[in-house]
Structure 1
Amino acid sequence: MTSETGLPENWTIRFSKSKNLPYYFNTKTTASQWEPPSDTDSDKLKVYMEEKFPAASIVPSEGSGPAGKIRCAHLLVKHKDSRRPSSWKEANVTRTKEDAMEIIQGFESRIRDGSTSLADLAAAESDCSSARKRGDLGFFGRGEMQKEFEEAAFALKPGEMSHAVETASGIHLIERLE
């Protein structure tokens, strides 16, 4: 176990230049993956990632996007029945769907009462690798996201945030940026 990162032996963190996101690389097998390997100390990894890759330093570009496309940010809470029950901060997600819904509703309350923003919560709490971009998914058009996500996102006006949206990936809060 690497003490500083919490990763198992032979695993390191590298940075993808094309996706502008960190990923995990095994120096012995040369395997790479977006989710942390099993046997990762999730608490140590989270602290390391917050120190080495502060989300505030990754600022998306502003401006109008391609025709027919919108830009959204989201906060994802996975559960044990999610399509891939692991994330950058947790190698094995074990919470129930009900627990995930309770967590997302707590996040929604904090955002709506003005005590925090979706971007700030996404950076620290989202189970999506977009956490490193403060939840920003960039521009996307119809047919590029899961159906439930797409329907909720396209129903929002810029500046609006959805209520909880369930998809195969987990439970989301979606904020339309542009």
Structure 2
Amino acid sequence: MSAESGLPEGWEVRRSNTKNLPYYFHPATKDSRWEPPSGTDPDKLKDYMARHHSSKGVAPAAPQDGKIRCAHLLVKHRDSRRPASWREPRITRSREEARELINQYLQEISAYEQDSNAGKSLPELATAESDCSSARKGGDLGFFGHGDMQKEFEEAAFKLEKGQVSPVVETASGLHLIQRYGRHSP
């Protein structure tokens, strides 16, 4: 156990570049998570976080120049750069199976866009189905600018009109549906 942070041996606290939030990382195993690993001393961690990772520098609630806010739904496959998620510790579906799944989600979102009593919204689906930890926030990624996301994701997101949902976007992380926040967005 690390005497200062209260984390189990080998674990450290890092800050996410995209979300500007602290997360827990084990360099030897490459394991990363948003929640503290088991065996953490909660009192020591709370004190450590207050001293070293306080809210100074947390992303603002309002956009900065050139930044946009989006939500997304991610479907990973076994060839994704990290084939695991909060839902599944080991993702074994093929890229083709992932594409079928995300196309079903796109159909549900399209149905919802036509009639809110049919289908489901992207945030509703992301909460239950996304392989990204942003699922707990309805897929909300907060504000980001150029250079903050993977190239393919960023290019698609910045082309969207407010409220618009993208077609399927493929990155090293998997397959995404992206919705830019705006007047018609959740």
- Superposition TM-score, scaled by structure 2 size: 0.65
Amino acid at match of 1:172: H
Q: Does 1:123 align with 2:135?
A: no
Q: Which has the higher contact order (CA 8 A, sep 6+)?
A: 1
- Following the alignment from structure 1 to structure 2, what is the Cα–Cα distance between the partners of residues 72 and 88? 20
- Aligned sequence identity (%): 56
Q: Secondary structure at the match of 2:167?
A: coil
Report Cα offsets for 1:24-77 as digits up to 9, x if no partner. 51218x9xxxxxxxxxxxxxxxxxxxxxxxxxxxxxxxx751110000000000
List structure 1 runs of 4+ shifted beyond 3 angstroms: 18-22
Aligned residue pairs total 129
Aligned runs of 1:59-74 on 2, under 5 Å? 64-74=62-72
Q: Please report the RMSD computed on the Cα atoms of aligned residues, expressed in angstroms.
A: 2.3
Amino acid at match of 2:161: K
Partner of 1:45: none
Unaligned runs of 5+ in 1: 1-17, 31-62
- Following the alignment from structure 1 to structure 2, what is the Cα–Cα distance between the partners of residues 87 and 24? 16
State the shift of 1:22 in Å.
5.2
Partner of 1:5: none
Partner of 1:105: 103
- Following the alignment from structure 1 to structure 2, what is the Cα–Cα distance between the partners of residues 22 and 146? 20
- Following the alignment from structure 1 to structure 2, what is the Cα–Cα distance between the partners of residues 90 and 26? 18
- Following the alignment from structure 2 to structure 1, what is the Cα–Cα distance between the partners of residues 38 and 140? 27
- Following the alignment from structure 1 to structure 2, what is the Cα–Cα distance between the partners of residues 23 and 101? 29
Partner of 2:14: none
Q: Secondary structure at the match of 1:94?
A: coil
Q: Does 1:154 align with 2:158?
A: yes
